[in-house]
């Protein structure tokens, strides 16, 4: 049993670390160690993932894992893209290792995610500060070519702190560089930093709060439109939570906004949004998101076109990120879309329970608001990497953390509610003597 628990922790840690090793986060590729690291991390993930599936088949009922199973089947039967199939299989084992982990192993995976993301965010903030005062060092940064490969050499220590797009914006009359840490593009900071920031706040403690602040701060400094939209939804959630529960705000609120966006997309009534973006761009060129919004809306319209004709998934995946639920159907069919809705429901229930037990704590309230904002953006607008290993395993880590915290709160409540023997009884004397 001790060996199992130890291996479970190793597998959970490896699954968490792989979020920042694979996919569109390029730090391992920049250092030239991506393939060896992937191979080393895969061993405990596959071993313990297989063990949990064989010994705890109930975890297969988790709708998030069900979505990945359906997506894998669709990939094999309809698309057959080797890279996507490899990602699906890795996601299956990674989720199995996370969802089957003990509370202690789960806590370790959370610690790995928050520390990794927090340190990377602190590095990126330091890079932003250096470039703010020495913009000429922009030429020393590593870049990404058209194929998504890291190019350039490390000739200055500032290049080790993160990649950059080369885009320049004006902020308070000063030219600033748009940064992305080691993500392929700034919009991915929603996945790699904003959601981990929410996890860090929900985890709590001095370290968790500090790391959460670093991640949130960098997410804002990256000038990502998806991050700004998420924070806008968080503000709306802050108002809605004065009337409704966390479950209703996350589940029904996000689905209502999704429905309204789809209706506006179908009817061509997005001129108001475009006019608002045009107005915001007058207050700073870093707020100019009209082109990005138009591309995302176009991608959503394209995916929506194949929605009705894809009961088991589509023969090609979307080229442009869009609404999570729409692209989820394209990836895994109608049943896959239902699985995502069921998972959001389960997550909303766990978050609602946490709010009932710890909602008065500032860190929990901040984490809930950030999470609602980020997930609403994913569901409605931008699912970039949220249907792949990084996003799905992050959601698995988040869900398992909430589940373990709520179980711990229930155990404490049951202990406190248990009847106590009278102080003068023999049992009471024995208890007092034992204490």
Residue 429 has pLDDT above 60, yes or no: no
Tell which phi-psi region holds residue 204, choosing left (phi > 0), alpha (psi between -120 and 50) or beta. Answer: left
Span 398-419, pLDDT tens digits: 999 999 999 988 888 777 777 7
Cβ(325)–Cβ(376) under 8 Å? Answer: no
59 or 116: which leads in pLDDT: 116
Q: What is the C-alpha to C-alpha distance for residues 341 and 251, in angstroms, rounded to an integer?
A: 8
E strands, 28-147, are: 143-144
Q: What is the C-alpha to C-alpha distance for residues 77 and 88, in angstroms, rounded to an integer?
A: 13
70 DSSP 8-state letter: H
SS (H, E, C) 175-206: EEEEECCCECCHHHHHHHHHHHHHHHHHHCHH
The residue count of the chain comes to: 435
Query: Is the four-CA dihedral 41, 19, 304, 349 of positive or negative sign?
Result: positive
Q: What is the C-alpha to C-alpha distance for residues 37 and 28, in angstroms, rounded to an integer?
A: 8
Query: Is the four-CA dihedral 392, 393, 394, 396 of positive or negative sign?
Result: positive
Residue 435 has pLDDT above 50, yes or no: no
Span 102-127, pLDDT tens digits: 899 999 999 999 999 999 999 999 98
Cβ(45)–Cβ(11) under 8 Å? Answer: yes
CA distances from 234 to 112, 212, 376, 383 (A): 25, 15, 9, 17
For residue 431, the model assigns a pLDDT of 47
Span 174-232, pLDDT tens digits: 677 778 899 988 889 999 999 999 999 999 888 889 999 999 999 998 888 889 889 99
Span 244-256, pLDDT tens digits: 999 999 999 999 9
Q: How confident is the model at residue 433 (pLDDT cuts 50, 70, 90)?
A: very low
4 or 269: which leads in pLDDT: 269
**Tokens 């705000």 sit on residue:** 249
415 or 396: which leads in pLDDT: 396
How many C-beta atoms lie closer than 10 Å to residue 213's C-beta?
A: 17
Q: What does the angle CA 214 – CA 107 – CA 355 come to, to the nearest 5 degrees?
A: 75
């Amino acid at each position: 049993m001790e060996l199992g628990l130890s291996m479970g922790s190793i597998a959970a840690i490896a699954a968490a670390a792989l979020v920042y090793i694979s996919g569109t986060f390029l730090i391992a590729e920049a250092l030239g160690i991506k393939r060896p690291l992937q191979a080393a991390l895969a061993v405990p993930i596959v071993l313990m993932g297989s063990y949990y599936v064989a010994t705890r088949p109930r975890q297969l009922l988790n709708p998030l894992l069900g979505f990945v199973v359906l997506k894998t089947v669709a990939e094999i039967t309809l698309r057959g893209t080797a890279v996507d199939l490899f990602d699906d299989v890795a996601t299956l084992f990674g989720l199995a290792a996370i969802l089957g982990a003990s509370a202690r192993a789960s806590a370790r995976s959370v610690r790995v995610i928050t520390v990794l993301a927090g340190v990377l965010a602190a590095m990126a903030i330091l890079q932003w500060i250096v470039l703010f005062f020495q913009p000429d060092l922009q030429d020393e940064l590593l870049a990404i070519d058209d194929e998504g490969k890291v190019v350039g050499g490390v000739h200055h220590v500032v290049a080790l702190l993160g990649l950059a797009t080369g885009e320049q914006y004006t902020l308070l009359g000063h030219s600033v560089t748009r940064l992305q840490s080691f993500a392929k593009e700034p919009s991915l900071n929603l996945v790699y930093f904003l959601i981990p920031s929410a996890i860090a706040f929900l985890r709590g403690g001095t370290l968790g709060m500090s790391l959460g602040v670093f991640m949130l701060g960098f997410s804002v400094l990256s000038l990502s439109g998806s991050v700004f939209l998420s924070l806008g939804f968080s503000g709306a959630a802050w108002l809605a939570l004065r009337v409704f529960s966390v479950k209703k705000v996350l589940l029904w609120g996000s689905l209502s906004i999704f429905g309204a966006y789809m209706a506006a997309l179908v009817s061509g009534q997005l001129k108001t949004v475009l006019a608002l973006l045009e107005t915001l761009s007058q207050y700073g060129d870093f707020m100019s998101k009209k082109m990005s919004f138009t591309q995302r809306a176009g991608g959503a319209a394209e995916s929506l076109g194949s929605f009705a004709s894809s009961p088991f998934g589509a023969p090609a995946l979307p080229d442009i990120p869009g609404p999570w639920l729409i692209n989820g159907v394209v990836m895994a069919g109608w049943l896959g879309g239902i699985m995502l809705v069921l998972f959001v429901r389960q997550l909303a229930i766990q978050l609602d329970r946490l709010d009932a037990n710890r909602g008065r704590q500032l860190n929990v309230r901040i984490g809930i608001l950030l999470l609602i904002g980020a997930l609403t953006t994913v569901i409605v607008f931008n699912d970039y990497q949220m249907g792949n290993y990084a996003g799905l395993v992050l959601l698995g880590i988040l869900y398992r953390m909430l589940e373990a915290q709520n179980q711990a709160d229930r155990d404490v409540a049951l202990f406190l509610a248990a009847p106590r023997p009278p102080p003068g009884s023999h049992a009471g004397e024995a208890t007092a003597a034992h204490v």
